Amino acid sequence: MFNQIRLRAWSEGLRSQPSLPLRVQLWNGQRLDFSPDPPRVTVHVPHARALRYLLSPSLYNLGRAYVEGAIDVSGRASDMVAVVNALANNMRAPLPTFGLGRLLGALARSHTRKRDAAAIRYHYDVSNAFYAAWLDPGMVYSCAYFDNGAETLAEAQVKKIDHILTKIGVRPGHRLLDIGCGWGALAIRAAQRYGARCVGITLSDNQARLAREQVERAGLGGLVEIRLQDYRDVGGQFDRITSVGMFEHVGVRQLPAYFRRMATLLAPDGVAMNHGLTTTDVDSHGAPHGGGEFISRYVFPYGELAHLGTVIKAMQEGGLEVRDVENLRRHYARTCAMWSDNFEAHAERIKQLTDARRFRIWQVYLAGCTHAFTHDWISLYQVVCGKAGRDPAAIPWSRRYMYAQA
């Protein structure tokens, strides 16, 4: 009875707001529509106990309920995320998090080699076939780069790699370290087109295995080495260093040490780039409405996003001078939208490659990332840097060289 009263109050409150393309189908056959137009999202509530998720509609609560099968939701993933965000916005008071965010944050700050390796395996060792079903043919799992937005995903990913390698001035014979090399696309491109000698490191067995196969297939065994290795264990010196979509796993408190390690590995006149996600919250909190908690629990265990200001400060503390910063938020919104569309288009195949729970996690995660980038909750920055305190003659006069036609 109490839940029915709460449901009636919730429903009346929602109807006082702008129409929402939502239908709620209850276990007793009752149907609630919140728009005169046909619904784009239908939430199926199988029993009265499941009402608690609907009546406390944060991205975390409803996301968890959907992933764990406590409720069922039909509709396009992008519409699902937009509707849930609208429901969360409609709440008149902040929702309690029961300390989960603080607990996950404390765990995230405790980064060890063992814990970081386990987190990477959880996220990346689903299966190579799973990722291949929705990524581009080059298996590039990071923000693409668009000149005008009309490029295919494959074209934009090649442009991104070339944009990075041009920015840091890769030349034939340069020794390049790619921290978090994924399936090897950047290292292969750097060797194949730019003549660099590359070392790519990853903590994912699946990534390392396929990357090595890709290297051999390209005939680049003499130029590219793929290692299963933690960045803290790399030795030697490199003319160029890239870190693309990796430092989110490092931990905010560990960033100065991470960049200090990068500075140690960088040759005196070397150039490095960090390409990674940042939060737009100045206090480095997660996405609103429990979105960050959902990602911490289901997608990126122990992952943390720092604000750009924190990143730049940590680079300076680590002995690096920031030379160039570029915001690619629009590019990542486009990239995630294309990934999400690919995921939806190949849903039946993907369901055969993984279990229903993981399918739902990734379905809402990719659409949620699109929403987050579009609404400026998170961003993506490429930061070019070199060792601090060096002669400025090594720094180009302008940024024109970054956009020169190859």
The SS3 call for residue 151 is coil
Mean pLDDT computed over every residue of the chain:
90
Which pLDDT band holds residue 118 (cuts at 50, 70, 90)? confident
Q: What is the pLDDT of residues 22-65, one digit of tens each?
A: 999 999 999 999 999 999 999 999 998 999 888 888 889 999 99
Catalytic residue list contains 369: yes
Q: Which residues, 6+ apart, have CB-to-CB distance to 64 below 8 Å? A: 53, 70, 294, 297, 298
Give the DSSP letter of residue 303. Answer: -
- In this model, does residue 155 exceed pLDDT 90? yes
Q: What is the dihedral of CA 84, 85, 87, 89, to 10 degrees?
A: 170
Which pLDDT band holds residue 379 (cuts at 50, 70, 90)? very high
Average of per-residue pLDDT across 209-236 = 97
The residue whose two tokens read 């929705």 is: 134
Q: Which range, of 2-11, 80-89, 98-107, 279-288, averages the lowest pLDDT?
A: 98-107
In sequence order, what E strands does 59-181 have? Answer: 72-74, 175-179
Which pLDDT band holds residue 98 (cuts at 50, 70, 90)? very low
Candidate ranges 14-18, 270-274, 402-406; pick with highest mean pLDDT? 270-274
Tell me the two tokens of residue 39.
């619904």
Of the residues 181, 336, 369, 385, which is catalytic?
369
Q: Which range, of 68-77, 108-117, 313-322, 349-358, averages the lowest pLDDT?
A: 108-117
Own/partner long-range contacts of 395-399 (Cβ < 8 Å, ≥24 apart)? 395/323, 399/324
Tell me the β-bridge partners of 201: 179, 227
pLDDT at 109: 54
Q: Which residues, 6+ apart, have CB-to-CB distance to 123 below 8 Å? A: 299, 300, 301
pLDDT at 93: 42
SS3 content of the chain, % helix, strand, coil (to 5): 50, 20, 35
pLDDT at 55: 86
Give the DSSP letter of residue 134. Answer: T
The answer to whether residues 190 and 168 touch, using CB atoms and an 8 Å cutoff, is: no
Write a three-state SS string for 341-368: HHHHHCHHHHHHHCCHHHHHHHHHHHHH
The residue whose two tokens read 């029961």 is: 98
Which pLDDT band holds residue 216 (cuts at 50, 70, 90)? very high
Q: In terms of DSSP bridges, do strands 22-26 and 320-327 run parallel, antiparallel, or are they unpaired?
A: unpaired
The SS3 call for residue 241 is strand
Give Cα 118 to chain centroid, integer Å.
17
Which pLDDT band holds residue 122 (cuts at 50, 70, 90)? confident
- In this model, does residue 227 exceed pLDDT 70? yes
- In this model, does residue 405 exceed pLDDT 70? no
Number of residues that this document lists for the chain: 406
* Kind plus residue range of the DSSP H or E element containing 320: strand 320-327
The SS3 call for residue 80 is helix
Which pLDDT band holds residue 2 (cuts at 50, 70, 90)? low
The answer to whether residues 345 and 366 touch, using CB atoms and an 8 Å cutoff, is: no
- In this model, does residue 120 exceed pLDDT 90? no
User: Residue 172 burial (CB < 10 Å; 0-12/13-18/19+)?
Assistant: exposed
Average of per-residue pLDDT across 128-143 = 97
Q: Which residues, 6+ apart, have CB-to-CB distance to 19 below 8 Å? A: 34, 35, 36, 37
